[in-house]
Amino acid sequence: MGQPFRLHPQLQQDCHTLGRCGSLHVLLHRNASLPWLIVVPATDASELFTMSAALRRESLTCCQRLSDWLLQREQITKINFAAIGNMVPQLHLHLVGRYPGDPCWPRPVWGNLNTDAVYDAVDIAKLREQLADRIDLRW
């Protein structure tokens, strides 16, 4: 038996947990300057293209639904999607809703987002509710 899957401490520190969706943890970056979701599949694989095909499919289906949802939010016209992992080795997929003139436009957020804002508990509860139907999110 392997160890039970645990979120990397850095992801716990940087993010709110929105919930679970099947084998995926769905996180919200604490910096509320931009809508920034992070999907963490429960796997030891560290690369998008070396994880199991089934789990990659599940991850990308979830990302697609999150992307659709982000694109329906006010202002958002673009999704920045990335699997980087140079700092945090645990595989995690970024989905950032962007628009021309946003606090970091046109630079990618990683290392460049210098504004800060916070979510309150009501914001997070609302997001969980909105996502519950979209991606079968369990809290």
Examine residue 106 and tell whether it contacts a copy of itself (CB under 8 A).
Answer: yes
Examine residue 45 and tell whether it contacts a copy of itself (CB under 8 A).
Answer: no
**In the complex, minimum distance from the CB of residue 92 to a copy of itself, in angstroms, rounded to a whole number:** 12
Q: Residues in contact with a copy of itself, total (CB under 8 A)?
A: 29
Q: What region, left, alpha or beta, does residue 46 occupy, with left being phi > 0 and alpha being psi -120 to 50 degrees?
A: alpha
Q: From 47, 138, 30, 127, select the one nearest 93 (Cα to Cα).
A: 47
Q: From 41, 112, 32, 30, select the one nearest 73 (Cα to Cα).
A: 32
Q: Which range touches a copy of itself (CB under 8 A), out of 8-16, 17-25, 30-38, 102-110?
A: 102-110
Q: How far is CA 67 from the centre of its chain?
A: 10
- Per CB under 8 A, the list member of 10, 12, 52, 105 interacting with a copy of itself is 105
Residue 46 or 130 having the CB closest to a copy of itself: 46
| Euclidean distance between the first and the last CA atom of the chain, given in angstroms as a whole number | 26
- Residue 99 to residue 105: CA distance in whole angstroms: 7
Residue 20 or 78 having the CB closest to a copy of itself: 78
Residue 103 or 119 having the CB closest to a copy of itself: 103
Question: Is the separation of the CB atoms in 125 and 131 below 8 Å?
Answer: no
Q: Locate 102 and state its tokens.
A: 């946003």
Show the site string, 71-90: x = touches a copy of itself by CB under 8 A, - = not.
x------xxxxxxxxxx---
The contact set with a copy of itself (CB under 8 A) reads 46-50, 60, 63-64, 67-68, 71, 78-87, 98, 105-108, 110-112
